[in-house]
Amino acid sequence: MNTLFTGKNLIVLEEVDSTNRYAESLLKSSPPDGTVVMAHQQTAGRGQAGNAWFSQPGQNLTLSLILYPLFLQVSQAFVLNKLVSLALLDTLKHFLPKASLKIKWPNDLLADKLKISGILIQNQLAGSMIRNSVIGIGLNVNQVIFPAEIREKATSMKLFSGHEFDLKQVLGTLMTHLEREYLRLKSSGPARLDRAYLDHLYAYQEMHRFRIRGEVMEGMIVGVEKEGKLAVQLNREVLHLNLKEIEFLL
Ligand code: BTN
């Protein structure tokens, strides 16, 4: 049963600059654990690495979930990325049973190698612990036209399946999976998430072309460190890379 993430703590906005920014400003008034801020339209949606996130008004899920994961150390913060990636993966599996679904490190969701969802997590710290976390999720549901810059790389649930989805139903399923994973993490720790994340990781233990620190090279993803760095095996060495140091090439 849903006790945390549904119903009473849902704020639905017609238009906002960014649900993550709105959720951050809400933190001053200590909203309950599991509060969700959702918008039909974002005018300045934020993506990873300072990029923008574009989403056609009313077509997709653009939301931010507020959590207080006080049981997590700062060094464990990446476990939240794993948790949200896997909750999205399970949601997509439910609606798109025929898709080949993968998590592209650190936390993009791919359907047949095209990006269908992105996650932007912003944590506030209290010493060595995480005080609160704003988990921003963009999931392409019914959008079928994408800006030219991302047209080749992006997809949506509708583009994939050929039919529309009810946003409320998709939201409900996503919240159920998020809550389940969160309660499991609290009660049983991160081991299951660590395993499941690698099981669904795009290009894991396969040779792949990357641009690493500006140079094109072939390598193999061999793991993800607790802090979230990607471990890539080259000829003789294993590099531990952050998002700015590596780009996946085709
Ligand atoms: C990415 O670059 O892949 C992350 C995209 C995250 C987008 C979501 S949409 C809802 C929330 N509010 C924002 O401003 N960004 C996140």
Q: Are residues 26 and 43 in the same domain?
A: yes
pLDDT exceeds cutoff 60 at 22:
yes
Strands, sheet with 10-16, edge to edge from the N-terminal-most edge strand: 10-16, 36-42, 61-67, 129-139, 114-126, 108-111, 101-104
Q: Are residues 61 and 177 in the same domain?
A: yes
Q: Are residues 24 and 97 in the same domain?
A: yes
Q: Are residues 229 and 105 in the same domain?
A: no
Would you say residue 4 lies in a domain? Answer: no
Helix axes 167-188, 191-199, angle to 10 degrees: 130
Residue 72 in tokens? 């997590």
Q: Are residues 122 and 228 in the same domain?
A: no
Would you say residue 45 lies in a domain? Answer: yes
What pLDDT, in 10s, does the model give residues 199-227? 999 999 999 999 999 999 999 999 999 99
Q: Are residues 214 and 111 in the same domain?
A: no
d(CA 219, CA 163): 38
CA of 64 to the centre of ligand 1 (A): 8
* pTM of the shown model: 0.95
d(CA 178, CA 176): 6
Would you say residue 162 lies in a domain? Answer: yes
CA of 46 to the centre of ligand 1 (A): 5
86: domain range? 10-199
Q: Are residues 231 and 108 in the same domain?
A: no
- Which of 20, 26, 41 has the most ligand 1 atoms within 8 A of CB, as the residue to mutate? 20
Q: Are residues 241 and 120 in the same domain?
A: no
Average pLDDT over residues 166-181: 96
Would you say residue 113 lies in a domain? Answer: yes
* Average pLDDT, rounded, for the chain: 95
DSSP one-letter code for 18 = -
Would you say residue 43 lies in a domain? Answer: yes
Residue 156 in tokens? 């949506």
Would you say residue 94 lies in a domain? Answer: yes
What pLDDT, in 10s, does the model give residues 28-74? 999 999 999 999 999 999 999 889 999 999 999 999 999 999 999 99
pLDDT at 190: 95
Buried b (16+ CB within 10 A) or exposed e, 73-111: eeebbbbbbbbbbbbbbbbbeebbeebebbbbbbbbbbb
Q: Are residues 148 and 165 in the same domain?
A: yes
Q: Residue 247 in contact with residue 210, Cβ under 8 Å? A: yes
Q: Residue 13 in contact with residue 124, Cβ under 8 Å? A: no
Average pLDDT over residues 101-113: 97
Q: Are residues 132 and 232 in the same domain?
A: no
Average pLDDT over residues 150-170: 96
- Which of 62, 105, 150, 171 has the most ligand 1 atoms within 8 A of CB, as the residue to mutate? 62
Q: Between the CA of residue 58 and those of 41, 42, 139, 154, what are the distances in Å?
A: 6, 10, 12, 18
Q: Are residues 22 and 45 in the same domain?
A: yes
Average pLDDT over residues 95-108: 97
pLDDT exceeds cutoff 70 at 137:
yes
Query: Reduced to 3 DSSP states, what percent helix, strand and coil does the chain have, rounded to the nearest 5?
Result: 30, 35, 35
pLDDT exceeds cutoff 60 at 196:
yes
Average pLDDT over residues 165-185: 96
pLDDT at 1: 41
% residues pLDDT > 70 (the chain): 97
d(CA 106, CA 83): 12
* Nearest-5° Cα angle at 98, 97 to 103: 80
pLDDT exceeds cutoff 50 at 181:
yes
pLDDT exceeds cutoff 70 at 121:
yes
Q: Are residues 110 and 146 in the same domain?
A: yes
CATH of the domain at 49: 3.30.930.10
d(CA 13, CA 125): 27
Would you say residue 102 lies in a domain? Answer: yes
CA of 200 to the centre of ligand 1 (A): 21
Identify the residues whose C-beta falls under 6 Å from ligand 1. Answer: 18-20, 42, 45-48, 51, 53, 62-64, 108, 118-120, 136-138
How many domains is the chain built from? 2
